[in-house]
Amino acid sequence: MRPFEIALWSTATAAFLWRASHQNDAWWARCLPLAVAVLGVVHLFVECPRWHLLPAYVAVVYVVSASVWPNLGEPRFATAVFGLGLLAIAAVLGTAFPIFELPAPTGPYPVGTATLHLVDKTRKDPRTDRTDGCRELMVQLWYPAESGGPVATYRTTPETSLKTRHLALVRTHAVHGAQVATSPARHPVLLFSPGSGGRRNHNTVQAEELASHGFVVAAMDHPYDTDIVVFPDGRTARSMGDESADVEESLRVRTADAVFVLDELERRNQADQSGLLTGRLDMTRCGVFGHSFGGAVAAELCQIDPRVAAGINFDGSIYGEAARHGYRKPFLFFIEDVPLPTADDIAKAPVAKRPELIATVNDYQTLRRASSMQQGQWITIRGARHVNYCDSPLYSPIWRLARGGPIRPERAEKIINAYVVSFFKRQLTSEEDGLLTVPPPFPEVMIEQVTQPGASPFASNH
């Protein structure tokens, strides 16, 4: 909870306790309703309201009203208990859905951000409501900035639902529209693709960290796969959530999105109408990373696009050319700390569950084979689950709501950031800190150089 939220909740609680105790003579007690009213107004204008605190707002209105009409809400003890109950509910909801803080980037640059609306005139999208039928994308940039300033919010209100409305109040570390850093003149470029249903900002922690170390990150929404995409004219494209969709076709569309974004960045590097990117991108040093199905996009892009020199997959399966022929580029794979199903596990599982377990084993073997072709590296972080490789565990401290593993989210983010920055610096800027070649300084980390498609020595941890 934020400072004025805490002050408002605490003062309102004191007011209800005073009301329940019938202590009417203390001067400070008579001032409590006024203090509640002032804190309520300050909170509404400075911190902005959110639905999670609606019970507290009802309690606050009652406290202030009862100070004007003393007979309101008799008997006093019963109404005080009811008011305290409302405040308790608000405290629980406010804690479950906090206005959290993103980890601060550690690099030397301030971070800037900008959003691009791109239309691919060469591709048709049968699902679009555009009159020309063309594929359109929303892309968010994070980049090293020349200077700091007022920071952007994590999401805009139209991009949230009732449950996630508080995310529009979370502040990032990125300055919207800041000038790109001019020293050096050009910066290496990284693409990011989120998981199925995921959004372009789902790995803001990694995007801001990389930008602070001199990389330009271009994160893509994939319309009709991303949960919700809001275009500049107010139109929206929502995920169709079709589990029967052809995975190879979905991969083809997403990979074409990534190739188009690279093309567009090349064009804007030559002449950006806004002036933001002109001459600021080093398109000879490009990489890609993705979470879940976005990791499959990263692997495929490494396979098919010669401009991409290296990639990272955050716990995603692979398909297409990458599954058949390997990555063909330096590639880092993060895997969740979950036991791999054994033959005995599959035999004992309910019949309906067995195909899923078999698919998990097959995916694992495909990844091993693809990694061994390029001698890729695998990293396991003890206690990390699938969603620990994106921002989601920061959204709530309640494990079931965040769906993260037992590792603290901030600790997982610190470890992930260290290896992601080290890998891309090593591959794209020739800077070597040795992190990927020495025993891990983090006790939670296990690193394997995959040289053959056989079982991993850490299979019991996967």
Interstrand relation of 187-193 and 216-220 (parallel, antiparallel or unpaired): parallel
Please check whether residues 230 and 375 belong to one and the same domain.
yes
Chain mean position to CA 458:
27
Cα separation, 110 vs 303, whole angstroms: 33
Same domain (yes/no): 58, 140: no
- Two structure tokens written together for 73: 């809400």
**Alpha carbons 444 and 27: distance in angstroms, whole number:** 56
Model confidence at 459: pLDDT above 60: no
What percentage of the chain exceeds 90 in pLDDT?
57
* Residue 371 belongs to domain with CATH number: 3.40.50.1820
The answer as to whether 146 is a domain residue is yes
Nearest to 301 by CA among 291, 311, 293, 292: 311
How far apart are alpha carbons 375 and 445 in whole angstroms? 19
Backbone angles phi, psi at 227, to 5 degrees: -45, -55
pLDDT in tens, 193-226: 999 999 999 999 999 999 999 999 999 999 999 9
Which of 50, 70, 96 lies at the terminal end of a domain, its last residue? 96
In a domain, 106, yes or no: no
Q: Is 286 in the same domain as 410?
A: yes
Dihedral of alpha carbons 308, 311, 314, 317, sign = positive
* 33 and 143 share one domain: no
Residue 214 lies in a domain: yes
**Looking at the structure, do residues 115 and 92 belong to the same domain, yes or no?**
no
The whole-number pLDDT of residue 38 equals 85
Q: How does residue 69 score in pLDDT terms, banded at 50, 70 and 90?
A: confident
Is the pLDDT assigned to residue 316 strictly greater than 70?
Answer: yes
104 within some domain: no
Task: Supply the pTM of this predicted model.
Answer: 0.89
DSSP 263-303: HHHHHHHH--TTSSSTTTEEEEEEEEEEETHHHHHHHHHHH
* 411 in any annotated domain: yes
Does residue 454 lie within any of the structural domains?
yes
DSSP tag of 314: E
Residue 6's φ and ψ, nearest 5 degrees, are: -65, -45
For residues 323-336, average pLDDT: 89
**Residues 175 and 308 occupy one common structural domain:** yes
29, 77: one domain? yes
Same domain, yes or no: 190 and 56: no
Decide: 256 and 297 in contact? Cβ < 8 Å. no
Are 86 and 178 in the same domain? no
**Whole-number average pLDDT of the chain:** 88
Same domain, yes or no, for 231 and 369?
Answer: yes
Q: What is the pLDDT of residue 107?
A: 97
Condensed to tens digits (0 to 9), the pLDDT of residues 277-296 reads 999 999 999 999 999 999 99
How many other C-beta atoms lie within 10 A of the C-beta of residue 348?
A: 10
> Does any domain span residue 103?
no
Give the model's pLDDT for residue 232. 94
Q: Assign 24 a pLDDT band (cuts: 50, 70, 90).
A: low
What pLDDT shows up at residue 457? 37
The answer to whether residues 63 and 153 belong to one domain is: no
Most confident listed range (54-58, 322-326, 432-436): 432-436
Whether residue 260 lies inside any domain: the answer is yes
Task: Count CB-CB contacts under 10 A for residue 160.
Answer: 17
* Domain region containing 11: 3-96
Final residue of a domain: which of 46, 61, 96?
A: 96
357 or 119: which carries more pLDDT confidence?
119
pLDDT of residue 444: 96
The domain total for the chain is 2
- CB neighbours of residue 314 within 10 Å: 29
Q: Distances from the Cα of 98 to the Cαs of 57, 260, 385, 398, in angstroms?
A: 17, 37, 21, 10
Whether residue 143 sits in one domain with residue 271: yes
